[in-house]
Structures are given as structure tokens and as C-alpha cells.
Amino acid sequence: MARCFRALFLAIALCAWVPAFGGAKWTQPTPEELKMTSDPEAPGAAAVYLYLEQTADDTRHERTYYARIKVLTEDGRAYGDVTMPFWKRQETIRSIEGRTIHTDGTVIPFTGKPWQKELVKSGGVRIMEKGFSLPDVQVGSILEYRYRTVYSDWWPPKWYLQQDVFVHEAHYHFMPGGGSNVFATRFLPQNAQINEKHGWDLHVTNIPPQVEEDDSPPLHSLGYRVLFYYLGPNLTSPGQYWASQGGGWSFSVDEFAAAAKLKSVVAQIVAPGDSDEQKVEKIYAAVMKLENTTFTREHTAQEDNARNVRESNAADVWTQQRGNRQQITLLFLGLVRAAGLTACAMQVTSRDENVFMPKEADWDQLDDLIAIVNVDGEEQFFDPGERYCEFGKLHWKHTWTGGVRQTAHSVELGATPFPAYQDTAVTRSADLAMDAEGQVRGSIRIEMTGNMALRWRQEALLTDEEQAKKEFGDELQAEMPAGTTVKMQGFTALQDYTHPLVATLAVSGTMGTKTGKRLFLPGTFFEAQAKPRFATATRVNPVYLPYTYVVRDDVKMKLPPNASAEIVPTNAEIPYAEHADFSANYRVAGNIYQCSRMELVSKVLYPTKDYPDLRDFFQKMNAQDQAQLVLKMAPATATASVGKKE
């Protein structure tokens, strides 16, 4: 979590001008800047940064930020609202100043009072947000503001050079604290000018914006950036850093897990004749029943004192029958060890927020904990801290990522398994009937395993079951054929991760389009109005999917007695190398129409060069999903007379 919010802070925080805090005047805009109505370097942009500057001085524990922004469109006025996330116990924001300059040169200073609110309070971490709004922001205005933060201890900066709009010029400066080796990982444009004589000085110009695209990797792991870190005394490489930091972490893991204190507990859970697999499964089930405060709520110190709650080791967690995700994982680890199995902990990077970079010696990259157990001679990965995660599976954000793991005698860098498409399977069934007037009624059953099931189980925990049901129904409704309505009836096995999660819904309404004697119906039911994925012809970022999956659909519809199939969609097979597959089959037997559909994706990351092929696959699949079933409709009276005795 620490890494996530520190990245958030540095990505949002804008840059500052050091001389401004020494009493220097604001920057005088040029006539050209005042007259700007568009920017040839950024056609259609809502705004552009004319200048950004950030300084960090670890000798004084101080940073300054400065920004000049030109507003070009109505949407660009939003840049007049400035927000500054910060760590409550580590940072203080001071010296906020700002002004708005209109196109005629009129200057309106900011004289208001900044607001402040709490964003996150979890595990002793408090993330706050301070903000302010510049006055009378108009299209054509130049916005100028600066502020200063004071922080405790050394905190090397992370410079993310790309913003959400074009940057004309930026300057960064870092003065490290003394007594420790400073290193940096760099991803810089060719025009970058670096000077390392007096600290670190960086000057860049014409920085393109960071493009927001669906299904992209975490953006701050893609763009131009410089990431500083301290290795510590007597350390000269990232490898030494990980070994040094990992050693202390491993000791604390073993101390908290304390298998010796759990012998009596594990004896109540497993039986002497159990196999290794049975032992692990029983222990996993036992810890999964505990209250996971990461998904319910953290208890206050006053509440814990009133109940005499102690959570200094895994045995305490078991006694209290509750803990956060990390404590529950450590309890699982300790119990497995107490049962006589070899097990180790692994601290990983959650890939929904970050990409693990071994060369960046920063422990804050690692924000979650999983367990690795040797079961019958084979290592298996477990995620007991993720409430309702299925046995032997990982939450998708913990798959195909890296981190530091324990070994028999030390620690080492490691990786987690790639997510198999079979781990997340969805089966959607619809049983429908249409009458002579085109009215449709029926039922839907959706069975889910893996990450799809986990998503809705945890959503019900974080909100409540009724809210999860509503959101599930709303999402499905958006893809239903026009004119039909789905009504969520309920979930089955919502709190039982050992069985597939099942959602049942009722369907009613009208479906299809009538033209004369014909009725045009969607050949596919579940994807009738699904939005096409990867619709744009070009792509800037790689495609980065959360997880691989397989979806199977089976739709059966009883046709009205006055209908006969005139055109049935053609069966289709659409493969995409070894990365994805699609098939659809349609048939009419008597008055029963059936459609079976399979969509499979087995790869997570697609480089930009592969985007045309990926897009082609999804476009073909979407086109197939728009195929229509055409029915010829006889008059109801004529149909009724068929077979009637004379």
C-alpha cells in the first residue's frame, strides 16, 4: 500500500520553482503565451504545461513545486482545481500560493483557504489530501501556483516526467542526504540534459502526454521517469540491497509466524493420517473462516484495549479469530509449518498498481504477502490473505509478478506463476421462450470460478450483498438485447469459495426488430449490445489484461409457433495464434433455436506491435456476435388453423 500511495503522490503532485520561495517575483507571461488559443505541439489539447519544476532537498527535508499551465478549452478549466495527496505523519504542505492571469494580463491572486480531507486510513497509514481552487479560471487563462512540503527523514524523489497533457519545459533537482549511496534508474527522452556535479539536475523539453488507454499497464511504470533510491551504508548494488533488506524482513516473518506456538492449534485442525494436500487444505479452510479486517473494518485501539486484543504473533491472531490480510497469511504460514510442511513467505508487487523492477532498490515496491508451500515435493502458491480466494489460486494481481521470497537459509528474488485461463471460467446459460407477439421470458444462470467469482465475493464484503447484486445485474443489463430486462434474483455460494459462484436472473421484454413478415433477432444473446473492445485503430501503450479467462455461453430459445427460421448465422472459428480463440455454433431443430459460444484468452501482455493482430481478433469476434437470426413470421390465425380438422 505504501508504494501505491507514494506513486500516487508523485504522479499527481506538480512541480515547483525554488527561487519563488526566496521572494522572487512570479514569471511574467509573454504576449504570445497570453494570446495562445491552441498549441501546434498538442493539437486539440485541453491545456498544456508551459513550465514545471520540482526540487527535493533531503539535507533539509524539503521539496518545492511550481507549475505554469495554459488553459485552451473549457475542459482545461479543471486544471484550476489543485489537489495534493500527502502522508499525514511524514509530510506537511506549506506556503501555498497561486494566481490566475487572464488573456488581457489581468492578475487575480489566490486568497482563499485550502481544504483538507482524509483519503485512506489503514494499518497505521493515513493518506490525506489538501487542495485549493484558483480564482476565476477562464479559457485562455494562465494558471500559476507553487507550494512546499516538509517531510521527516530522507525520502528520495521519483520523477515522473509525463503528465496527462503536453509539457513544454520542465526542470528537476535533487540534493541527496549524506552518508548513503544514491542510485537512480532512468528512462529518459533523448533531449534530456543531466548534470550530476551538485546533486542531480535534469532539464527536459517537449514531453508528450501520458496517454490514458483501457487495459494499459500502470502508467507510471511506462513513461519517462527517474527513480532515486538509497542503498544504505556499505551496499553497492541492488542485489546487495535486496539481500540486506530481505534478511530483516525474513526474520520478522518467522518471528510473527512462530510455528512453535501453533502446535496445539494445528492438532485441532489436521488428523495424523492426512496427506500433505489434505493438511494444507484444512488449514487454508480454517484461516479463511477468520474475520479479515482488510475487507471488513479495522478496529480502533480503544476497541482492542477494551477487549484485551493482542496481535503480536500468529497465535494471537488465531486466538482473536481476526486479522488483516498480512496477519492471516502469516498465520497460515505458521500453521502449515507447525503441521510439518516446508513453507515460505513471499513479499510481492501487486501488478494492478505497479510493475516489479529488481534494479530499483526500493522495498516499497512490495506491498502484499503470499505463501509458498511444498506439497508432495512441488511448490504451490497460496493467497489466504485475499478473502474467499480459492484454494491453490492467487488473486490476479499477485500472478505473474515479482518480489522477494524466503529460501531455506536466506532470501532471493522470485516470481509468481502466470495465470492459467482455466483458473477463471465463466459459463453463461439462458433458457428463453418467445411468444407470437415477440414477448420473451426466461431465466439466466451464470457460473463463475477464479477471479470473476472472487471479484463479486469481495465486492459483497466491501459493500454488501444487495449492492453486489445490483451492480452485477446492471453490468449484465448493459449487454442484453435491446428491449429486454434482466432482474437479479440472487447469488448462490457467495460465501463458499469451495464451490463456483452462481448468479440467477430472470429475463423479460421484447426482442428483435420486425420488418414486414420478418423478425430480426440477435444471433448471440449475451453479447448483443456489448461494446467492442479495442475499437481504436492505433495504440500507444501495450495491452495489459488483468487475467486470462474462458467464457462459455449456451443459449436455448423456444420460437413461437408461427415462426420459421429463414436465415441462421453461420458457424465460426476465429483463432489468434496461441493467444486466444473463439468459436460460435448456431442451430435450429424444430421450434428450438440454440447458440453455443466460446471465448478464450490465454495471454496477459500484448506489446504495441501486436496490437493490430489483437484488435483484428476482437473485431472479428464482435462482428460475429452481431450476426442475426432471421425468422419468417406467419399470421397467427393461419398458424392456428394448421392441423385443424375439417
Question: pLDDT tens digits, residue range 199-236?
Answer: 899 999 999 999 989 999 998 888 999 999 888 778 88
Query: Are residues 322 and 471 part of one domain?
Result: no
Say if CB 372 and CB 405 are below 8 A apart.
yes
Query: Are residues 16 and 132 part of one domain?
Result: yes
The last residue of a domain, from among 196, 230, 264: 230
- CATH number for the domain that contains residue 273: 3.10.620.30
The model's confidence at residue 305, banded by pLDDT at 50, 70 and 90, is low
pLDDT at 84: 81
Q: Reduced to 3 DSSP states, what percent helix, strand and coil does the chain have, rounded to the nearest 5?
A: 25, 35, 40
Q: Is residue 435 part of a domain?
A: yes
In this predicted structure, which of 22-26, 236-240, 284-288 has the lowest mean pLDDT?
A: 22-26
Query: Are residues 428 and 515 part of one domain?
Result: yes
- State the Cα–Cα distance between residues 430 and 554, nearest whole angstrom: 6
Query: Are residues 163 and 78 part of one domain?
Result: yes
The last residue of a domain, from among 167, 196, 230: 230
Nearest alpha-carbon partner for 323 in 267, 408, 385, 402: 385
Q: What is the mean pLDDT of residues 73-98?
A: 87
Query: Are residues 436 and 377 part of one domain?
Result: no
Q: Can you spell out the DSSP letters for 58-115?
A: TTTTEEEEEEEEEE-SSGGGGGGEEEEEEETTTEEEEEEEEEEE-TT--EEE--S--E
Query: Are residues 206 and 133 part of one domain?
Result: yes
pLDDT at 123: 57
Query: Are residues 314 and 392 part of one domain?
Result: yes
pLDDT of 87 strictly over 70:
no
The model's confidence at residue 596, banded by pLDDT at 50, 70 and 90, is very high
Task: Write out the three cell numbers for 379.
Answer: 511448490
Query: Are residues 313 and 404 part of one domain?
Result: yes
- CATH number for the domain that contains residue 452: 2.60.120.1130
Place of cell 537512480: 184
pLDDT of 504 strictly over 80:
yes
According to DSSP, the β-strands at 322-323 and 291-292 are: parallel
pLDDT of 197 strictly over 90:
no
According to DSSP, the β-strands at 47-57 and 142-151 are: unpaired
pLDDT at 549: 98
Q: What is the mean pLDDT of residues 186-206?
A: 92
The model's confidence at residue 119, banded by pLDDT at 50, 70 and 90, is low
pLDDT at 6: 37
Dihedral (CA of 421, 425, 426, 427) sign: positive
pLDDT of 458 strictly over 80:
yes
Q: What is the mean pLDDT of residues 389-395?
A: 97
Considering the chain, what percentage of its residues have pLDDT values greater than 90? 76
Query: Are residues 278 and 196 part of one domain?
Result: no
- CATH number for the domain that contains residue 110: 2.60.40.3140
The last residue of a domain, from among 417, 435, 462: 417
Q: Is residue 565 part of a domain?
A: yes
Query: Are residues 603 and 460 part of one domain?
Result: yes
Q: Is residue 93 part of a domain?
A: yes
How many domains is the chain built from? 3
- Where does residue 58 rank: exposed (0-12), middle (13-18), buried (19+ CB within 10 A)? buried
- State the Cα–Cα distance between residues 173 and 171, nearest whole angstrom: 7
Give the full edge-to-edge strand order of the sheet including 513-515.
513-515, 518-522, 628-633, 563-567
pLDDT at 446: 98
In this predicted structure, which of 136-150, 212-226, 617-631 has the lowest mean pLDDT?
A: 212-226
Query: Are residues 251 and 182 part of one domain?
Result: no
Query: Are residues 510 and 580 part of one domain?
Result: yes
Q: Is residue 472 part of a domain?
A: yes
Say if CB 201 and CB 194 are below 8 A apart.
yes
For residue 246, the enclosing domain spans 238-417
